[in-house]
Structure 1
């Protein structure tokens, strides 16, 4: 019989789940080139989206996706998957983002953890696919389009807003890697049978659309970190918003969106990973 006495234990699975726009990259991906390519200022575009959402009593995410299609069509520029990927290829990442994933994977491995990275975002999935960091994600759950036989976007396939973001955390929790399967997401499953317990999740986000997800993760024993663009750290409105997130127990930690080694965020996330390992009875490595 094979000698299994000294076989190394299987790494314990953990995950970091990120919002994208404003969390990993500055601003919204659409603002860098897609909206300017429509010949409109991005502030005007978003104001129009809010106005249309209010007058139509509609979801803002569905409205912005409809406006992307409609405004492009009027200019004779069909929205295609390839075009969206091209517009998403050059985001303004926060410092350290592009080296963050292999560094965190290595650190987690030293703690006996097998670390996965997910995105749950109201932004455009096809644009995220065009980014250099896309291969690091096990799965991206974000807003995306349905395409016709010509490859042109005709309708939203998925619209991720602030309330339905939490369903994707349950999909990750239960090991469901698709959007369409409503039976699986609603099927009862014992907590100990779920592939990724909430207490082994770290959620990193920046905006109002992340608040329900942050609160749910913290209530279930996981860790939530709110990040803020370092250039806006002295913005009174942004800082006041951060104060409320702390006061209302929505998050565990707050840090500048600085992903460089030794940054405040780096220290917080590594500490959270070590806490996951300690709770599981694993020996932690320094």
Structure 2
């Protein structure tokens, strides 16, 4: 029987700088005005923060609007351009962790992204080649394939739902067919990736509920922080009153020489060792 390890990443300000800011700048939209004036005004008007930024973005899209008729194909092209901004050691970290796990019998590893960002910007990048599932905010399109509405917003609290789907082994396609499947009771021994075998990596601002869930159930969390840089989006969220909190904060350097990269390698090695010991003791 294979014992699965699940490594779950946020995307924005975790694997790469904020992707929505990148998109805005690609279309010559003033990101500072977007995040520091328009976004907080909409939140103060009662919008959920994720819905606030998505509706603001959609208001820029369409014929004779600042961004023009933006389609999923356009976002995929932007995703390819975004790859040049991936943090050091990404995507090599996936192969490095795979190599560690390959040294152990009966242990497997899967990678996931759970993000408030826009799905097409993430799934269109090289990151998707390594992930079992990508959970991110999804936009709807009109008959001309132009983005026109919100299909699925993922807020900072919604993220925990997808951790439970990962835990229970519910695929994204199965969840689309039955969004309530995640609420079904399941025995601990039937959970595909136990929480204690999950590692969650995210920024210390929008991932607090996920940090708490994973830590409370015996998993491991790593916070990402760039002490010399705070993205416009992060600063806007901090200005709205969000705390910045995590068990530890590390520079987003996933190389073998980077602290975060070293810690992830050690954490996966430790889970592999624990799993092997548990399996041998059960013989």
- Pick from 221, 241, 263 the counterpart of residue 268 of structure 1: 263
Structure 1 residues 25 and 244 mapped into 2: Cα distance closer, same or farther (>3 Å)?
closer
Report deviation, 1:244. 6.6
Aligned partners of 1:123 and 1:143 also within 8 Å: yes
C-alpha change, 1:39 and 1:273, in structure 2 (3 Å) is closer
2:189 counterpart of 1:199: no
Report the alpha carbon displacement of residue 194 of structure 1 after superposing the two structures with TM.
Answer: 0.7
Cα deviation, residue 62, structure 1: 1.1
Task: Please say if 1:50 is aligned against 2:43.
Answer: no
- Count of aligned pairs: 259
The alignment partner of 1:104 has SS state of helix
Change in Cα spacing, 1:166 to 1:263, as seen in structure 2 (3 Å) is same
- Shift of the 86–244 alpha-carbon distance from structure 1 to 2, 3 Å rule, reads closer
Q: Which of 3, 16, 31 is matched with 1:12 structurally?
A: 3
Bigger relative contact order, structure 1 or 2, given CA contacts below 8 A and separation 6+? 2
* 2:181 aligned partner: 184
Q: In structure 2, what is the Cα distance between the partners aligned to 1:80 and 1:52?
A: 25
Shift of 1:132: 2.1
Q: Is the 8 A contact 2:61 2:147 kept in 1?
A: no
Contact 2:104 2:276 in 1 (8 A): no
Report 1:167-246 matches (<5 A): 167-178=161-172, 179-180=175-176, 181-229=178-226, 231-232=228-229, 245=245
Segments of structure 1 that go 5 or more residues without pairing to the other structure are 1-9, 238-242
Q: Is the 8 A contact 2:204 2:244 kept in 1?
A: no
TM-score, with length taken from structure 2 = 0.84
For residue 251 of structure 2, the aligned residue among 247, 253, 256 is 256
Aligned pairs for 1:71-220 within 5 A: 71-73=60-62, 74-75=65-66, 77-91=68-82, 92-112=85-105, 113-178=107-172, 179-180=175-176, 181-220=178-217
Paired residue for 2:281?
A: none
Q: Aligned equivalents of 2:254 and 2:8: distance in 1?
A: 15
The partner residue of 1:69 within 58, 73, 78 is: 58
For the structure 1 residues 154 and 244, does the alpha-carbon distance in structure 2 shift closer, same or farther, using more than 3 Å as the test?
A: closer
Check the 8 A contact 1:30/1:87 in 2, yes or no. no
Report the structure number with the largest CA radius of gyration.
Answer: 1
* Structure 2 Cα separation of the partners of residues 131 and 114 of structure 1: 24
SS in 2 for 1:31: helix
CA offset at residue 39 of structure 1? 3.6
Q: 1:30 aligns with which of 20, 29, 51?
A: 20
TM-fit CA distance, 1:16: 0.6
Q: 1: distance between equivalents of 2:92 and 2:165? A: 27
Give ranges in structure 2 of 5+ residues lacking alignment: 236-242, 279-283
Q: CA RMSD in A?
A: 2.3
